[in-house]
Amino acid sequence: MKTVDILMPRPMLPIVQEQLDAAFNVHKLFEADDPDGRLAEIGPKIRGVALAGGQVNAQLLSKIPNAEIIASFGVGYDQINTVDCLASNVMVTHTPDVLTDEVADTAMGLLLMTVREFGQAERWLRDGKWVKDGPYPLTGATLQGRTLGVFGLGRIGKEIARRAEAFGLKIHYHGRHQQKGVDYPYHATLKELAAACDTLMVVAPGGPETEHAVNAEVLEALGPEGIVINIGRGTVVDETALIAALENGTIYGAGLDVFEDEPNVPEKLMQLPRVTLLPHVGSASQATRNAMGQLVVDNLKSWFATGKAVTAVPEMR
């Protein structure tokens, strides 16, 4: 496989770079002084892409006409136009399952932080206010007695629900269809889910179908005790509507690990008192990211050794 040319547009973890360097002829586009010129030079030779962010569409595929596979780092792949890839007969893989538990743990941590304002309480201590002004004010919200609505009951959504049950939360869900073998109450629309719950956990993938699905109407249905947690994709939540709902008391609070225009976070979100913000760290442990990186390597090796991918995206199965 050392004769197989692989494109790496952006830096990747050492576990990925070292193994791919040993197995393939890797072209690191990020090291080129003129990336566009370099791609024009090597494009026809490229047979695979190790992807860590960036768009894949017909425009890029036209520059690498002999590409066979896009091995993407991450479970979400909305930055890849799978229709264009299918039209060009290019396999697309991602890295599901290995990050499920880590993201589910993060979701529960973010929910607890948001409801009980643990981040704000820590800043109170660090800023010396405990000594100067006394105990941190009692939190207006509690996790006890809440009903959690899961938007996107896939692998991660199910693990979040399982953890939430251990905390005594009631679980409802909404997705494209009702799932067989799932006992949680199902709601045909997101608005109906929000109306039945006081806590909305957004685990849905990005893309045109879910863009701004959590809008002003959904937030209104969630109500004044409502809390929104988003560990899915930033585009799923209309941030303008969310800010307005928080400012007006339409909902109580929000916890966000993802944003519409990362790494740019609206200043108003950072100023609001009952909002907890994380810099997209859902799967960001060394162990989990290494496992994700290994899947990128395994997909490329398997494809060029056997013609089969390990974890193809659903559209390719």
Catalytic residues: 233, 262, 280
Cβ(189)–Cβ(217) below 8 Å: no
How many helices and strands, by DSSP H and E, does the chain display?
13, 11
Question: Nearest-CA neighbor of 207 among 83, 49, 48, 58?
Answer: 83
Task: List the structure tokens of 242.
Answer: 């969310």
C-alpha span between 58 and 255 (Å, rounded): 36
Question: Where is 306: in which H helix or E strand?
Answer: helix 286-306
Strands (E), the chain: 5-8, 25-28, 46-51, 69-72, 91-93, 147-151, 170-174, 199-202, 227-230, 253-256, 275-277
Amino acid at the residue 200? L
The whole-angstrom distance between residue 267's C-alpha and the CA centroid of its chain comes to: 21
Cβ(85)–Cβ(312) below 8 Å: no
Inter-CA distances, 170 with 221, 222, 297, Å = 18, 15, 40
Question: Nearest-CA neighbor of 52 among 18, 33, 28, 32?
Answer: 28
Q: How many CA atoms lie within 13 A of 102 on its CB side?
A: 19
Question: Nearest-CA neighbor of 201 among 282, 300, 95?
Answer: 282
